[in-house]
């Protein structure tokens, strides 16, 4: 299909480019750059490049106009007094050569104080390209309280006694919910070492984030293993009240846990969060656990979406190491496409009295070599639901789905159970679906319940249950499930690629042996386990994402295996149909390890941009990836949160989030461009649920397009039966 561009459309981007240039030119006319230098003078200096000041303290005490910048020349600065950074003033250095050292040996006092007296203050400033050295005496590096639109990036933080950088929505650091959340804050491309302690039963964070909405934490390298055992804190501590936060592409390394029980000399947490809504954690490499507390979804599609992370220890620990922990209640969480390796417990749901665990989806995860070193039949499990408090074992579980996971226990260090449902005494466990999974090498039963209340509506089908105790059978100690569906399960050797690569070989009996659960698949039917097998692709693509970064669009993708791969062509479209190649990235050729690739579109189109990868083999054959899309921030007034299209029911349910009341057009079309539905809809501010009747459709991939006068959103839909 050919797209004809109107003259107005061609002129508008040029107009906006000119407008942006003039706007930035005007702003720059009001901004002033002030300088500090190790050879400067706080008494006779005036902050110019020719006559700089000597200390950051002097500069921050003097510079006050919004838009002004304090430039830190290369060199080492010994700061003896706290610097108070005014709203709108930024600090920039020259990289690791601009070193700020502190001699402030005062508890909970920071080098840079960026605190405001009222919530919701627009900071509109940044701190970048500096190295901060606490010299193991200064408590904190930077505090940013009650301010929005503040970025800390390209910095290095080392040897702070208590914590590194603290963001809080409130005026004080008290952990209470703010009346006005801080928004637009970010922490990225930083290196943080030895900046968090554990003492008195409480762990601090290298990065704190409290009362934040939409905060971005990404591409940081954070390590906390330098202190004696029992004295290392966390990497990221988002306590409390995080909304819409994204934590992605970080490398987080926490010292392995050495205690015999939780709290014995610390915990195994790398990330700890509480009272979160709409948090997304993805693309991270983590040594340590993710611990989330009190998850509700609020106005978001989920409370937590944890995907495409690698959570792994270098070797099996003889003490208990966790993977992902949900504490208290959890509402609408998605855990998918993660790799958990060399941990004792995979996914733990630890409730308190009367808490509910509802609408949980666990899919396409690999849990490999799970166990405790040298302890065969320990108390670990792939998935655990347990409880604390009085009365004990009082909780509620509803709509708990475990689909297409591969779970392999460590031989010689096996976990005791696979899925352990706890000892329910008050409450219920119902609507539990376990399908298309592979579970191997569990010492006792692969699924068990010691509850006196029977599980209700338990559906276990199309799994491969191999080399587990109890004859590969389930174990219900006190009460058999009601409304129990059990069938089409196998007890066959899966035939993995190797003992370290848990993709199925093409001769595996589990290929096309699954049942459709709403996930995309190759072949005539879904495979069992976490990864679909296809021999057509030169690479196995496990993730592709696109994010906005300072006006550029950053594409990131990950391959788990490559065979005879040549390169990737990056293709872009303005309408989702007509694509052009905008760049290419060389492939590795042959690999059985995960490889991450990146490409930056430095000149994205106005409005919506669609991207896909053409994966080119060395013989010039190619296959396409799925399509991802992104809108410029100014156009993100609506979002398709979820869509369900069923062939049998001939209807569609769509959830749409909107920032305003607006009219939109709704179109559903198939891969050939045939329009199935075209109707006008009225969208209200907030969350909308729209139900429409469709003509009879066949199973396959469809596209849902929603557009207004200034926004367009497209979403892929895989039809259900």
Q: pLDDT per residue over 550-583, tens digit each? A: 778 889 999 888 877 889 999 988 777 678 888 8
Q: Cβ neighbours of residue 683 under 8 Å, at least 6 residues apart?
A: 638, 656, 658, 661, 662, 663, 664, 708
Average pLDDT over residues 111-131: 97
What's the CA gap between 227 and 206, in Å, rounded?
13
- Tokens for 376, please give them: 């065969």
In this prediction, residue 142 has a pLDDT band, given cuts at 50, 70 and 90, of very high
| pLDDT tens per residue, range 410-464 | 999 999 999 999 889 999 999 999 999 999 999 999 999 989 999 999 999 999 9
Half-sphere exposure of 601 (CA within 13 A, CB side): 27
pLDDT in tens, 247-281: 999 999 999 998 887 778 889 999 999 999 999 99
Give the whole-angstrom CA distance, residue 82 versus residue 158. Answer: 18
Beta-bridge mates of residue 450: none
How is 584-637 classified by DSSP, letter by letter?
A: EEE--SEESS-EEEEEEESSPPSSEEEEEEEEEETTS-EEE---EEEE-GGG-S
Portion of the chain with pLDDT greater than 70, in percent: 91
Residue 340 near residue 371 (C-beta atoms within 8 A): no
**Highest mean pLDDT, choosing among 15-24, 490-499, 630-639, 695-704:** 490-499
- pTM metric for this prediction: 0.73
pLDDT score recorded for residue 702: 74
Mean pLDDT, to the nearest integer, of 578-590?
86
Decide: residue 342, CB within 10 A, 0-12 exposed, 13-18 middle, 19+ buried: buried
Bridge-based pairing of strands 539-549 and 552-563 is: antiparallel
Q: What is the pLDDT of residue 134?
A: 96
Angle at alpha carbon of residue 680, lines to 661 and 299, rounded to 5°: 40
Distance, in Å, from the CA atom of 402 to the CA atom of 361, rounded to the nearest integer, reads: 6
- Residue 59: which H helix or E strand, with range? helix 56-62
User: Which pLDDT band holds residue 1 (cuts at 50, 70, 90)?
Assistant: very low
- Taken in order 338, 400, 655, 296, the sign of the CA dihedral is negative
Number of CB atoms found within 10 A of residue 22's CB: 10
What's the pLDDT at 313?
94
Cα–Cα distance, 454 to 480 (Å, whole number): 6
**Bridge partners of 350?**
327, 386
CA 332, 336, 338 angle in degrees (round to 5)?
135
Q: How confident is the model at residue 216 (pLDDT cuts 50, 70, 90)?
A: very high
Q: Which of 261, 270, 275 has the alpha carbon at shortest distance from 205? A: 270
Q: What is the pLDDT of residue 718?
A: 56
CB atoms within 10 A of CB 598: 10
Q: Are 271 and 286 in contact (CB under 8 A)?
A: yes
Dihedral angle computed from the Cα positions of residues 677, 683, 688 and 694, in that order, rounded to the nearest 10 degrees: -10
How far is it, in rounded angstroms, from Cα 417 to Cα 717? 36
**In which band, very low, low, confident or very high, does the pLDDT at 235 lie, cut at 50, 70 and 90?**
very high
**Gap between the Cα atoms of 580 and 563, Å rounded:** 26
pLDDT (0 to 100) of residue 712 = 65
Distances 518 to 642, 706, 717 between C-alpha atoms, Å: 13, 22, 9
Residue whose pair of structure tokens reads 């319940």 in the numeric block: 449
pLDDT digits (tens, 9 = 90+) for 463-500: 999 999 999 999 998 999 999 999 999 999 999 999 88
Please, which residues bridge with residue 713 across strands? 706
Phi, psi (deg, nearest 5) at residue 449: -145, 130
pLDDT tens for each residue of 21-45: 333 433 334 579 999 999 999 999 9
Say yes or no to pLDDT of 708 above 90. no
Distance CA 203, CA 502 (A): 36
Torsion angle, alpha carbons of 153, 156, 161, 163, to 10: 20
Contact present, 322 and 343 (Cβ < 8 Å): yes
**CA nearest to 705, candidates 665, 663, 661, 671:** 665
Residue listed under structure tokens 């189109």: 605
Helix or strand (DSSP H, E) at 131: strand 131-133
Cβ–Cβ < 8 Å for 694, 677: yes
Q: Residue 21's pLDDT is what?
A: 38
Q: What is the mean pLDDT of the chain?
A: 88
Longest C-alpha distance within the chain, in Å? 85
What token pair was written down for 498?
A: 């190797």
In sequence order, what are the residues at sequence separation of 6 or more whose Cβ sits closer than 8 angstroms to the Cβ of residue 347?
323, 324, 326, 335, 362, 382, 383, 384
Q: Of residues 136 and 18, which shows the higher confidence score?
A: 136
CB 89 within 8 A of CB 64: yes
- Does 148 have pLDDT greater than 90? yes
Residue 698: pLDDT above 80?
Answer: no
The position carrying tokens 């700890």 is 272
Residue 686: enclosing H or E segment and its boundaries?
strand 686-693
Q: Which residue has the higher pLDDT, 584 or 463?
A: 463
């Amino acid at each position: 299909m050919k797209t004809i561009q109107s003259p107005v459309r061609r002129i508008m981007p040029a107009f906006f480019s000119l407008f942006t240039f003039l706007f930035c030119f005007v702003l720059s006319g009001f901004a002033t750059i002030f300088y500090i230098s190790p050879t400067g003078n706080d008494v006779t200096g005036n902050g110019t490049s020719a006559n700089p000041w000597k200390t950051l303290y002097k500069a921050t005490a003097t510079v006050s106009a919004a838009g002004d910048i304090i430039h830190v020349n290369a060199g080492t600065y010994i700061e003896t007094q706290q610097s108070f950074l005014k709203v709108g003033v930024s600090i920039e250095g020259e990289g690791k050569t601009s070193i700020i050292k502190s001699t402030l040996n005062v508890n909970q006092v920071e080098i840079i104080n960026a605190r405001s007296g009222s919530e919701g203050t627009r900071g509109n400033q940044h701190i970048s390209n500096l190295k901060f050295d606490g010299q193991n005496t200064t408590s904190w590096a930077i505090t940013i309280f009650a301010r929005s639109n503040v970025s800390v990036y390209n910095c290095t933080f080392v040897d702070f006694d208590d914590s590194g950088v603290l963001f809080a929505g409130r005026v004080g650091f008290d952990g209470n919910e703010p009346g006005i959340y801080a928004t637009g804050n970010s922490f990225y491309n930083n290196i943080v070492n030895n900046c968090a302690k554990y003492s008195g039963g409480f762990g601090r964070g290298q990065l704190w984030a409290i009362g934040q909405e939409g905060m971005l934490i990404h591409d940081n390298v954070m390590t906390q293993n330098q202190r004696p055992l029992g004295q290392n804190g966390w990497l990221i501590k988002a306590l409390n009240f995080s909304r819409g936060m994204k934590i992605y592409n970080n490398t987080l390394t926490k010292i392995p846990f050495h205690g015999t029980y939780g709290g014995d000399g610390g915990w195994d947490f790398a990330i700890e969060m509480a009272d979160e809504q709409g948090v997304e954690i993805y693309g991270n490499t983590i040594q340590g656990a993710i611990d989330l507390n009190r998850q509700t979804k609020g106005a978001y599609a989920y409370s937590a979406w944890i995907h495409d992370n690698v959570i792994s220890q270098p070797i099996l620990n003889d003490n208990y190491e966790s993977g992902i922990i949900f504490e208290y209640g959890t509402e609408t969480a998605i855990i998918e496409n993660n790799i958990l390796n060399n941990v004792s417990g995979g996914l733990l749901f630890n409730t308190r009295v009367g808490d509910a665990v509802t609408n949980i989806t666990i899919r396409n995860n690999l849990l490999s070599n799970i166990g405790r070193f040298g302890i065969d039949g320990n108390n670990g499990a792939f998935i655990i639901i347990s409880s604390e408090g009085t009365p004990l074992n009082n909780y509620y579980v509803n709509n708990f789905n475990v689909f297409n996971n591969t779970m392999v226990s460590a031989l010689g260090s096996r976990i005791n159970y696979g899925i352990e449902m706890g000892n329910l005494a008050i409450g219920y466990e119902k609507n539990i679906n376990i399908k298309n999974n592979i579970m191997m090498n569990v010492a006792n039963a692969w699924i068990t319940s010691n509850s006196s209340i029977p599980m209700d509506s338990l559906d276990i089908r199309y799994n491969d249950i191999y080399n587990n105790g109890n004859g590969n059978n389930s174990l219900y100690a006190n009460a058999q499930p009601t409304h129990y569906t059990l069938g089409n399960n196998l007890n066959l050797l899966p035939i993995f690629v190797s003992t370290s690569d848990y993709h199925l070989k093409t001769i595996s009996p589990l290929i096309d042996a699954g049942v459709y659960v709403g996930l995309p698949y190759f072949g005539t039917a879904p495979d069992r386990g976490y990864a679909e097998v296809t021999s057509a692709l030169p690479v196995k693509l496990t993730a592709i994402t696109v994010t906005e970064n300072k006006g550029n669009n950053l594409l990131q993708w990950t391959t788990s295996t490559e065979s005879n791969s040549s390169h990737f062509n990056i293709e872009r479209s303005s309408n989702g149909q007509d694509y052009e190649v905008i760049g290419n990235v060389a492939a590795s050729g042959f690999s059985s390890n995960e490889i991450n690739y990146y490409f930056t579109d430095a000149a994205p189109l106005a409005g919506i941009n669609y991207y896909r990868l053409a994966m080119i083999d060395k013989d010039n054959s190619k296959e396409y990836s799925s399509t991802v899309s992104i809108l410029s921030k100014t156009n993100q007034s609506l979002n398709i949160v979820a869509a369900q299209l069923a062939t049998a029911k001939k209807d569609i349910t769509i959830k749409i989030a909107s920032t305003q009341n607006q009219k939109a057009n709704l179109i559903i079309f198939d891969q050939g461009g045939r329009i199935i539905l075209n109707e006008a809809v009225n969208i209200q501010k907030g969350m909308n649920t729209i139900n429409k009747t469709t003509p009879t459709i066949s199973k396959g991939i469809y596209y849902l397009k929603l557009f207004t006068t200034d926004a367009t959103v497209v979403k892929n839909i895989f039809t259900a039966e």
